[in-house]
Structure 1
Amino acid sequence: MNKTGSAAKVKLNSFDDLFGDGQPQAGIEQVQEIALSELHEFKGHPFKVLDDEKMQETVESVREHGVLMPGIARPRAEGGYEIIAGHRRRHACELVGLDTMPMFIRNYTDDEATIIMVDSNIQREDILPSEKAKAYRMKYEVMKHQGSRAGGLTLDELGGATGESAKTVQRYIWISRLSELLLDMVDSGKIGIMQAVDISFLSEDAQQWVLVAIQDTNAVITKQQSAMLKESDKKGELTFPMVRMLLEKEKPVERKVVIKTERINSYFPDTYSTDDIEKIIFQLLDNWKNTQ
């Protein structure tokens, strides 16, 4: 059985320990400068590398100070190296115009590499729901593969790193079954987390119907609607027309019209009573409506 790896168990030596007086020291892992062209994305990497404000901050840091913390990678059978930790740093190096990046090269198994990759990213403050969902699922699959205890205890262990309950972890794992386009809607807030859980239980065809219906109607799904979708699909009764009909239901538009009395009075002689004015206004409105 493969030994269990964890980001917490990976010893990242300090720069003083690594470099000392500039001479290699026996028994101490050495940082290697690896060509960016040799560093490849982790297979199934769930975390997005975006050109956002955070990335710009990383770029400025790399430009001014270099890469302060080396990344971690492992050799690939087909050549080059698979990044385990350091995808954002690699992209920043690329944007700065560097050719290489400092890396620790380690011979991790698939299970060890997956656990370290997830643990080194899962506690980020800006993590997206889709990223967390995929990451939890990847680590859960590894734990099952390694023979970890199934059920609530395993889910509790998964959420331990982020302080989330087993129930919350389970919800995210369910959400990971959504299509990429639906996950994008979850990330943008178009679909709520609880609604996403319900939709994750739909068949692939039904998920596609929901996606198309949302795109066509710009609907915002309520928890009641998502529960109805889930129940109808479970019974084998859900169809595309049913999805559209359900999501096209709109709340009545609340309109409040206020017209100043002074403006109304300016159209009528002082001898007209309020009832006279109201009667004339509605007669005019009826005439207008009949011409539409």
Structure 2
Amino acid sequence: METIKNVSISELHSFRNHPFKVETNTELCELMRSIEKEDVLVPLLVRMNPYGDGYEVISGHRRKEAALWAGETEVPVVIRELDDDQAVVAMVDSNLHRENLKPSEKAFAYRMKLEAMKHQGKKVLADDITLAQVEPRSTKKNPGGLVSGAMRSNELLAKQAGESEAQIKRYIRLTNLIPKILNMVDEGKIAFTVAVELSYLKEEEQYELHAIMDLEQCTPSLSQACRLKVMSQHGTLDMDAICMVLEEEKPNQREQIKLRADALAKYFPEDYTPKQKTDLIEQLLKEWYEKQEYSKQESLGSSCSRAR
């Protein structure tokens, strides 16, 4: 059973532990412009908030944010009766089709949906057992049309997502990473396969690894990540061991940019060491990059202001 109506944005609450990020970017700005011209065309999917007043948003977090940004006070919603597991499945399914999802978003989405599907499977199985006690020959089917137990949750999720079971498992492994390392995966600083191996490190070991990566400005290769994993499993991984592994030369670690020292010499004091020169170049590039990012945000803000 469902109802369609307009509700106040103040009554809408984000889905608990929602794994998909709503970022203030050009796409959100364009959505805001569209809403200013034509209002919200596609209603948000919500359910009665099980944690308090109002409604919990299942699908439409970006539309809600854009509508708020556009100055709207109400939006159309579809109010549907959903239990917790049904709500999780609907929330994940409505977002997985989006382009450019971050690894962390897929990781937590797959984990949440898999856990919900397993709960649903247990409920269906329990219903089947109860029914079998009354009708032994029953072949009751679940809502997906499959005889209960005919397809495991892992297999069904992989089929629905269009990924292999092994790849789904790899994504879910990323949820074991500490936030700082997971952010590096999202930013492309650590490769997906490397991150999967690092996810087997204990939490304390991951914090130590991140501290060393940040200090030395380096990341492990796949072979090094595998070694760190083995050392962790054997209980021999500490900061000294991490340093020893990361200090090894990695021929494919990074693309090298070569600059002629004599061409740059006139820009540095005569007593500057090679390290001081390198540090200064990195600092100036960092300042330039931050200036460019600030200019982009200023431009985006001005564009959206003019749109209003």
Give structure 2 stretches of 5+ with no counterpart. Answer: 123-147, 263-308
| CA distance in structure 1 between the partners assigned to 2:259 and 2:9 by the alignment | 61
Structure 1 residues 112-168: Cα deviation after superposition (integer angstroms, max 9, x where no partner): 000000000012112111000000000111122223689x94323212233111111
Within a 5 Å distance, the mapping from 1:132-143 to structure 2 comes to 132-143=106-117
Q: CA deviation at 1:52?
A: 1.3
Amino acid of the structure 2 residue aligned with 1:239: D
Distance 1:250 1:97 in 2: 55
1:156-192 residue CA offsets vs partner (Å, 9 max, x unmatched): 3212233111111010011111122211111111111
Compared CA separation, residues 88 and 258, structure 1 to 2 (3 A): closer
More helix by share: 2
Structure 1 equivalent of residue 193 of structure 2? 194
In the superposition, the TM-score normalised over structure 1's length comes to 0.73
5 Å matches for 1:1-292?
30-77=3-50, 78-147=52-121, 153-251=152-250
What letter is aligned with 1:91?
Answer: E
- Counterpart of 2:127 in structure 1 is none
Instruction: In structure 2, give the amino acid aligned to 1:160.
Output: K
CA separation of 1:92 and 1:251: change in aligned 2, threshold 3 A: same
The one-letter amino acid of 1:67's match is: V
Residue identity in the other structure for 1:109: D
DSSP-derived class of the 2:17 partner: coil
Counterpart-to-counterpart distance in 2, 1:125 and 1:58:
15
Deviations 1:5-43 (A, max 9, x none): xxxxxxxxxxxxxxxxxxxxxx9x542111111101100
- How far apart in 2 are the matches of 1:225 and 1:200? 13
The CA distance in 2 between the partners of 1:238 and 1:44, in whole Å, is 32
Post-superposition shift, 1:254? 8.9
User: By how many angstroms is 1:251 displaced?
Assistant: 4.7
* 1:125 counterpart letter in structure 2: E
Distance (whole Å) between structure 2 residues aligned to residue 146 and residue 199 of structure 1: 31
| Other-structure match for 2:303 | none
Structure 1 CA distance for aligned equivalents of residues 261 and 84 of structure 2? 68
Output one character per residue of 1:172-222: Cα deviation in whole Å (capped at 9) or x when no partner. Answer: 011111122211111111111111111111111111112111211111221
Would the aligned equivalents of 2:3 and 2:80 in 1 still touch at CA under 8 Å? no
The count of corresponding residues between Structure 1 and Structure 2 is 232
Distance in 2 between the 1:178 and 1:161 partners?
25
TM-score by length of 2: 0.70
Given that 1:123 and 1:161 are in contact with CA atoms closer than 8 Å, whether structure 2 keeps it comes out as: no
User: For the structure 1 residues 251 and 140, does the alpha-carbon distance in structure 2 shift closer, same or farther, using more than 3 Å as the test?
Assistant: closer
- List per-residue Cα deviations over 1:58-105 (Å, max 9, x = no partner): 112111111111001111241111100010000001110111111111
Structure whose CA Rg is larger: 1
CA-based RMSD? 2.5
User: Conserved in 2, the CA contact under 8 Å of 1:186 and 1:192?
Assistant: yes
Greater shift after overlay, 140-149 or 216-225?
A: 140-149
In the alignment, is the contact (CA less than 8 A) between 2:46 and 2:80 conserved in 1?
A: yes
C-alpha deviation, 1:225, in angstroms: 0.9
Judge conservation of contact 1:123–1:162 (CA < 8 Å) in 2: no
Post-superposition CA distance 1:240-282 (Å, at most 9, x none): 22112322334587969799xxxxxxxxxxxxxxxxxxxxxxx
- Match in the other structure for 1:21: none
